[in-house]
Structure 1
Amino acid sequence: MVWTFFQGTVIDGANASRWIKVPFIGVTFQTSALAMIVLMIYVARYLAKIEGKQITFKSSFIEFWVPVFIILALILPANFSTAALIFSMVCMLVFVGGYPIRYLAAIFGMGVVMLGIFILFAKAFPDAMPNRVDTWISRVERFTTDAPDEDDYQIEKAKIAIATGGIYGLGPGKSVQKNFLPQSSSDFIFAIIVEEYGLVGGLGVLFLYLMLFFRFLVSAHKAKSLFGKLLIVGLGFPIIFQALINMGVAVELLPVTGQTLPLISSGGSSIWMTCIAVGIIISVTKKEEEIAEELEEKAARDAALQSIIDEHILREKQKEEAGEAGNIANPSYSIEGVDK
């Protein structure tokens, strides 16, 4: 992230400060996508480690929140939407993990204050942050006003595509607006889906994401360990929220953010990181199933062993009672033999 912050890169002459070019390979890589996964694993691990312990704000701030804020500070200048998504997901995860609400409220307030200071600094010294600060600030400002800009062109083309699609769409591959809409295969792919498959296709995509969200909830509920639960929530929920943000941008409910539609939009590092997150979730659920099966087998073995022991004790007791009866009938029978 430090390397990306100071180096960045340029793709086709455009500012691409979120990406770096991997040496000797020549491919570009968005480091914030990997940072989100690593940070969510770190948050889940920390919350699992402090489970049942008495924590203080000072200790948790130094050990936990300082690393989080450092990562967010490195992402924020070039990618506000990703930084906001990560911060909201971290807050959601620590809330689910049982972090004290009063501490969380203080952290949220500090985050808002630091964001305000950063905006004021960027406004006062525009040359100090030459990346995308002006871009995301202007997008928020223009979204709340009627001032025309290049984002309006994208939104208008997206709305035309959605309106043209109607109920059933124009048919697969018959989109017209994909020839005019910038980023039609990534940021605004949802508008093209609705144009080609109509309202039915758009609702179908939304339904698939909701089903995936439901599966994440079920897997988190079945997980036996707190770490497993938090890991599924921390890695799975951002995928769903990112999808909702992408759809919200396409229908102008949200300002243009540049968030892709997970598992659908074309892309490199984004699709790789999404697949890695899903793979980790599958690994957690598989491990939890194996642990559950081992516990069931152990319980079955213990029950069988206890049954054998009970049966053996019962036979010995019956032998002892039979021996005592024989000793009364035959006084010469050895008491020691009965005990044995």
Structure 2
Amino acid sequence: MNTVFRNIRGDRTIWAITALLALLSFLPVYSASSNLVYVVGNGTTIGHLLKHGVILALGFAIIYTIHKIPYHYFRALSMIMLPITVILLLYTLAQGNTIGGANASRWIRVPIVGVTFQTSTFASVVLMAYVARYLSKIKDEKVRFAETLIPLWLPVFLILALILPANFSTAAILFSMVVVLTFLGGYPLKYLMAIIFTGAVGLTMFVLTAKAFPEAFPNRVDTWISRFESFMDDVPTEEDYQIERAKTAIATGSIVGKGAGKSVMKNLLPQSSSDFIFAIVVEEYGLAGGLLIMFLYLLLLFRIVIVAHKSATIFGKLLVIGVGLPIIFQALINMAVAVELFPVTGQTLPLISSGGTSVWMTCLAIGIILSVSKKREETEEQINNDNNPLAVLSEAL
């Protein structure tokens, strides 16, 4: 164990926040999984808890492995993985089957092990790394809009177009994050406004096409529209059912909550262990528990900004912001949905919600951030050694 801790590098606060969020997830997941067991009839609560533990253990193995890779390798890896990601998204979109009666065009099933993998979350990390690489490449050059269309925006819109038909919320979040990253990377604002306008036009054309040919995209556009109408108006939908129970869970949580495992709404919320787990956290641990979770995500955001600021290269700065901001943005959206500040999106709470791919991709992003911060530590150690007379003498001997 001591050997493992000696080999753990990078920002210690990020390591601690990640570990604490993972530990805090066990009780809510164990409690909320009773809905899957007693209402849906799927497995046992201990089985779901063990599965969650295995997923988190694999997630931390991903963090440890990725943070050992020098971050400049991700420049080349983003280019190599981009076409592979496009192929995976095409395959995922083409299969169009169902899992448990639900549209499964977001997932592919991995042979032999039999687990499902959500390709859009992996595509998000790869695309943000690719955009960071390109922006760092043109940082000191005069940007011409036409010259950026093929190397920058063609891959962005291609991946968004492959994600959009099955997962609007992920596509919208990814597009927003790309816009934020390009803005922070110094991409001209006038060109960026043209890209935003193009994206809005493309989305409108897709919606109109889907409404004109509903058999091509069954139920997806209607689902988006119903969720938006439900949020804006008083049109009763299934999402209203979930939101009302989520708000009831939060309201009855009071200051310190009902106590671990004593949630009532977990048996009435269909996605109590994933999409609406924040409501269960507040019901069982009160406002104090909810604020603690929010504080940890905001502290993680603060450390991400610190790591980006301390990075010695433009690519390192943009890479950290590119893969780190979506984690915080997704967390805030999940919490906003639970209190009806945002329409239902299906986004999980990073490291807290049960799930496989979402946890692993969050861990992949955190591993990349730690890889960047590790490089800073190694540089500082090298400088200290160079300035240490005993170290110089030892090196000479």
Q: TM-score range by the shorter chain?
A: 0.7 to 0.9
Per-residue Cα deviation, 1:10-29 (whole angstroms, up to 9, x for no partner): 22122222111122331111
The structure 2 residue matched to 1:241, chosen from 326, 329, 332, is 329
Instruction: Give the equivalent residue in structure 1 for 2:316.
Output: 228
Q: Does structure 2 conserve the Cα–Cα contact (< 8 Å) formed by 1:154 and 1:182? A: yes
**Cα-to-partner distance string for 1:272-292 (whole Å, 9 max, x where unaligned):** 110111011111110122123
Q: Which amino acid aligns with 2:220?
A: R
Structure 1 range deviating more: 232-241 or 283-292:
283-292
> Larger C-alpha radius of gyration, 1 or 2?
1
Give the 3-state SS of the residue equivalent to 1:253 in structure 2.
coil
Q: Distance in 2 between matches of 1:114 and 1:108?
A: 10
Q: Distance in 2 between matches of 1:229 and 1:118?
A: 34
Q: Does 1:115 align with 2:185?
A: no
- Is contact 2:351–2:359 with CA below 8 Å preserved after alignment? yes
User: Structure 1: where are the runs of 5+ without partners?
Assistant: 306-340
For 1:83, give the aligned amino acid. A
Residue of structure 2 equivalent to 1:142: 230
Runs of 4 or more off by more than 4 Å in structure 1?
295-301
1:260 aligns with 2:365: no
CA contact (8 A) 1:20 1:30 kept: yes
Q: Which of 247, 260, 280 lines up with 1:159 in the alignment?
A: 247
Aligned twin of 1:74: 162
Q: Does 1:55 align with 2:147?
A: no
| Cross-structure match for 1:322 | none
Determine the C-alpha separation between the residues in 1 that align with 2:331 and 2:259.
Answer: 23
Q: Which moved more, 1:243-252 or 1:115-124?
A: 115-124
Letter in 1 for 2:222: D
User: Per the alignment, do residues 98 and 295 of structure 1 end up closer, same or farther by CA in structure 2, a change over 3 Å counting?
Assistant: farther
Q: How does 1:1-340 map to 2 (within 5 A)?
A: 1-130=89-218, 132-298=220-386
* Stretch moving more, 67-76 or 289-298: 289-298
Q: Give the superposition deviation at 1:94.
A: 0.6
TM-score by length of 2: 0.74
| Counterpart residue type for residue 269 of structure 2 | L
Q: Distance in 1 between matches of 2:340 and 2:137?
A: 42
Q: For 1:216, what is the secondary structure of its paired residue? A: helix
How many residues get paired?
303
Q: Is the 8 A contact 1:185 1:265 kept in 2?
A: yes
Paired amino acid for 2:237: D
CA deviation string 1:20-50 (max 9, x = no partner) = 1122331111000100000011011101111
The structure, 1 or 2, with the larger RCO (C-alpha pairs under 8 Å, 6+ apart) is 2
On the 8 A contact 2:242/2:270 being kept in 1, the answer is yes
Identity of aligned pairs, percent? Answer: 65
Measure the CA separation in 2 of the matches of 1:133 and 1:48.
36
**1:269 to partner: Cα distance:** 0.5
Distance in structure 2 (CA, Å) of the matches to 1:19 and 1:256: 20
CA distance in 2, matches of 1:132, 1:34: 21
- Aligned partners of 2:109 and 2:117 also within 8 Å: yes
Instruction: Measure the CA separation in 2 of the matches of 1:217 and 1:145.
Output: 38
CA distance in 1, matches of 2:284, 2:197: 44
Asked if the contact 2:239/2:344 (under 8 Å) is kept, the reply is yes
Compute the RMSD of aligned alpha carbons.
1.6
CA distance in 2, matches of 1:24, 1:235: 30
**Contact 2:160 / 2:171 at 8 angstroms: preserved in 1?**
yes
C-alpha contact 2:226 2:237 (8 A) present in aligned 1: no
Counterpart secondary structure, 1:68: helix
CA distance in 1 between partners of 2:97 and 2:286 (Å): 38
For 2:326, the aligned partner's letter is P
